[in-house]
Chain A
Amino acid sequence: MSASKALNLTLKVWRQKNQEDKGKMDTYQVSDISPDSSFLEMMDILNEQLIEEGTEPVAFDHDCREGICGSCSMYINGEAHGPGRSITTCQLHMREFKDGDTIFIEPWRAKAFPVIKDLVVDRTAFDKIMAAGGFVSVNTSGNTQDANAIPIEKSHADQAFDAASCIGCGACVASCKNASAMLFVSAKVSQLALLPQGQVEAKERVKNMVKVMDEEGFGNCSNTGACEVECPKGISIENIARMNREYLSASLKTEDA
Chain B
Amino acid sequence: MSWVKNTLSSSVGRKFAMALSALFLMIFLLQHFTINISSVMSEEVFNNWSHFMGTNPIVQFALQPILIFGVIYHFVMGFVLEAQNRSARDVKYAMNKGGANSSWFSRNMIWSGLVILAFLGLHFYDFWVPEMVYKYVEFKPEDPNRYYEELVHKFEDPLRVGFYSVSFVLLSMHLLHGFQSAFQSVGARNSKYTPIIKKLGNIYAIAIPAGFVFIALYHHFTSH
Q: Which residues of A contact B (CB under 8 A)?
A: 12, 14, 25, 75, 77-79, 83, 104, 106, 109-112, 115, 175, 177-180, 182, 210-211, 213-214, 217-226, 229-230, 237-238, 240-248, 251-252, 256
Tell me whether B97 is interfacial, beta carbon within 8 Å. yes
Q: Which residues of B contact A (CB under 8 A)?
A: 2-3, 6-7, 10-16, 81, 84-85, 87-98, 100-103, 106-107, 109, 177, 180-181, 184-189, 191
What chain B residues lie within 8 Å of A225 (beta carbons)? 101-102, 106
Q: Are A223 and B185 in contact (CB under 8 A)?
A: yes
Q: Are B92 and A109 in contact (CB under 8 A)?
A: yes
Min C-beta distance of B191 to chain A, whole Å: 7
Complex: A214 Cα to B15 Cα, angstroms: 13
What chain B residues lie within 8 Å of A222 (beta carbons)? 81, 85, 106-107, 109, 181
What chain A residues lie within 8 Å of B97 (beta carbons)? 77-79
Q: Most chain-A CB neighbours within 10 Å: which of B84, B85, B109, B180?
A: B85
What chain B residues lie within 8 Å of A218 (beta carbons)? 11, 88
Q: Are A241 and B12 in contact (CB under 8 A)?
A: no
Q: Are B101 and A104 in contact (CB under 8 A)?
A: no
Q: Most chain-A CB neighbours within 10 Å: which of B16, B95, B97, B103?
A: B95
> Are A104 and B94 also in contact (CB < 8 A) when A219-B84, A241-B189 are?
yes
Min C-beta distance of B91 to chain A, whole Å: 5
Min C-beta distance of A93 to chain B, whole Å: 18
What chain B residues lie within 8 Å of A219 (beta carbons)? 11, 84-85, 87-89
What chain B residues lie within 8 Å of A75 (beta carbons)? 93, 95-96
Complex: A27 Cα to B186 Cα, angstroms: 46
Q: Are A12 and B94 in contact (CB under 8 A)?
A: yes
Q: Which residue of B lies closest to A16 (CB)?
A: B91
Q: Are B95 and A220 in contact (CB under 8 A)?
A: no
What chain A residues lie within 8 Å of B177 (beta carbons)? 223-224
Complex: A214 Cα to B101 Cα, angstroms: 24
Q: Are B184 and A210 in contact (CB under 8 A)?
A: no
Complex: A246 Cα to B97 Cα, angstroms: 32
Complex: A83 Cα to B100 Cα, angstroms: 9
